[in-house]
Amino acid sequence: MEQIPASIWTLTAGVVVTLISFWVGHHHGLLPEQASEQAPLVDNFFDIMLTIGTALFLVVQGAIILFVIRYRRRAGEEGDGLPVEGNLPLEAFWTAIPALIVIFLGIYSVDIFQRMGGLNPGDHAMHSRHAPKSGMAVVAQASSKTTSDAAALLAAAQTPEIGIGASPDVQGKAPDLVVDVMGMQYAWIFTYPDSGIVAGELHIPVGKDVQLNISARDVIHSFWVPQFRLKQDAIPGVPTELRFKATKVGTYPVVCAELCGGYHGAMRTQVIVHTPEDFERWRHQNQAIATAPVIPSLSDRHIQQMGITPQLVAQVEAMTHHHSPEKL
Ligand SMILES: [Cu+2]
């Protein structure tokens, strides 16, 4: 029987490795569902990296296993193995291939980032329309709060310097919805400048171009929604934005992805992606509360059922204002 030439074996191995790598790259199931316009872009890039990684893994591990078996010490073999040294074409080959892969991934990642809007934070067209409005709301709210609050709110109203801005298809257009997002130890506060709603959860309509103006009150936090494949640092004093379109109705976790203190792990909330009609309903219901003239005082029901007494409220208020010198 004739020997099969090594080149045939190499070709077969190459085809098999390629097929396995492509299959793994497209069926890994490692990522959560895609719920934003940016998610497929990120996943595409991840799939390509995993395909290349799988191929490299199989080639390197396969070669090790093959060599261990084929060049093992046989019975009766004594002394050192063959002194093999240097092979310029081989070394040039295995330097060039990784270099090309890295250059390709580098260029491709910049392309993905650009298509996500990453090179376009602070796309100014819409700020002339929206910033003054939220700015006024900021001044009104800031007067009653602490200076760090005011600074954070002002940062939210300024033109974003960093973040994910308008993607090419909405460049130069105003977003459909603007929400100011403030990170603080240990919560996210969502303020809707055009309706005055303040919420602890983010509500947005599906398929609409949403701009989050992100700020931080105390330390660095990071706004992360895994299903959107979007993560943006919230940095004190640095106006930041995150602009995206949610593509799937549902409820997704919002996670703080920057170690920000003792209760960082509990700094979670949700983003609720509504149908446009549902979102309007939510806005209607909450706008009524947001624009109510005064915060109603504690009702008798609260006092009786929950044991909340005016004295307790006064105590809590004194505690929260312990920084002001006149209370010390
Ligand atoms: Cu945090």
Q: What is the pLDDT of residue 304?
A: 57
What separation in Å is there between the alpha carbon of 87 and the centre of ligand 1?
53
The arithmetic mean of pLDDT across residues 253-259, rounded, is 95
What separation in Å is there between the alpha carbon of 221 and the centre of ligand 1?
4
Strand order in the sheet with 221-225: 202-205, 268-274, 250-256, 221-225, 230-234
The arithmetic mean of pLDDT across residues 183-209, rounded, is 92
The arithmetic mean of pLDDT across residues 229-252, rounded, is 93
CA distance 141 to 105: 46
Q: Model confidence at 1, in pLDDT bands (50, 70, 90)?
A: low
Checking if the pLDDT of 299 tops 70, the result is no
For residue 158, give the nearest of 223, 215, 235, 198 by alpha carbon: 215
What separation in Å is there between the alpha carbon of 320 and the centre of ligand 1?
20
What separation in Å is there between the alpha carbon of 149 and the centre of ligand 1?
16
What separation in Å is there between the alpha carbon of 265 and the centre of ligand 1?
8
Q: What is the pLDDT of residue 159?
A: 77
Strand order in the sheet with 187-192: 162-164, 240-245, 209-216, 177-184, 187-192, 197-199
Helix (H) or strand (E) holding 286: helix 276-290
Under DSSP, the state recorded for 31 is: S
**Do the beta carbons of residue 217 and residue 149 sit within 8 Å?**
yes
Q: 168 or 17, which is more confident?
A: 17
CA distance 299 to 308: 10
Among 168-177, 226-235, 262-271, the minimum mean pLDDT is found in: 168-177
**Percent share of the chain, pLDDT over 90:** 55
Residues surrounding ion ligand 1 at CB below 5 Å: 221, 256, 260, 267
